[in-house]
Amino acid sequence: WGSFEAAIENGRLDRTRPFRRDRNPSALTDVIPEAVYASSRVRAPAVREGWLEGRASSRRERGNERFVEVDWETALDLVSSELARIRSDFGAEAIFGGSYGWSSAGRLHHARTLLHRMLHAGGGCVGQVTNYSYAAGMVILPHVVGNADPVSGRMTDWRAIVENAGLMVFFGGINRRNF
């Protein structure tokens, strides 16, 4: 999202503008107030109604049932008791400690690190090796280009690519500062 300055009106985020010293600000800065107050934003923990009423409820209604908001203390108690039940009934190997959640610079904002810290403190979990992007490349590229060097070998410097390419096409996010 980048660094930005915020204008608060009557206790609400009214508008944002890029940080004045940012030479290449993100266009996403403009949509921050809209994102903060979007009707689709999850504002509180929520639990599937049937499961909340009876933990052994039918799973047939998954995807159809409404979700009921609960306070944070209730949500934490539900998660804690469910993790304890799974460990007791099936062992730590029945809990997958993987997450592709949002993260930013540093380990404090890294979802997988925080998830592992919590799950290992409570008795353990099964981790993961590599990630879906890298792992997919390791499996697919040998069939496409003959080996996995594009993801595991020496990499070409961005500057060399920019200087020698007529056209660069990116899929997904790439920050202009990278090249």
> Is residue 174's pLDDT more than 90?
no
Catalytic residues: 100, 102
Give 38's contacts (C-beta < 8 A, 6+ positions apart).
none
Tell me the pLDDT tens digit for each residue of 134-153. 888 888 888 888 888 877 77
| Amino acid 150: pLDDT | 79
Which residue's structure tokens are 């595991």? 152
Q: Give pairs for 1-10: CB < 8 Å, separation 24+.
A: 1/26, 1/28, 1/29, 1/32, 2/26, 2/28, 2/29, 4/29, 4/32, 6/32
30: tokens are 């403009």
Tell me the two tokens of residue 81: 């008791």
Mean pLDDT of the chain: 86
Q: pTM surpassing 0.85? A: no
pLDDT at 12 over 80: yes
Residue 57 in this model has a pLDDT that exceeds 70: no
Cα three-residue angle 158-160-165, rounded to 5 degrees: 95
For residue 34, pLDDT over 80 is answered with: yes
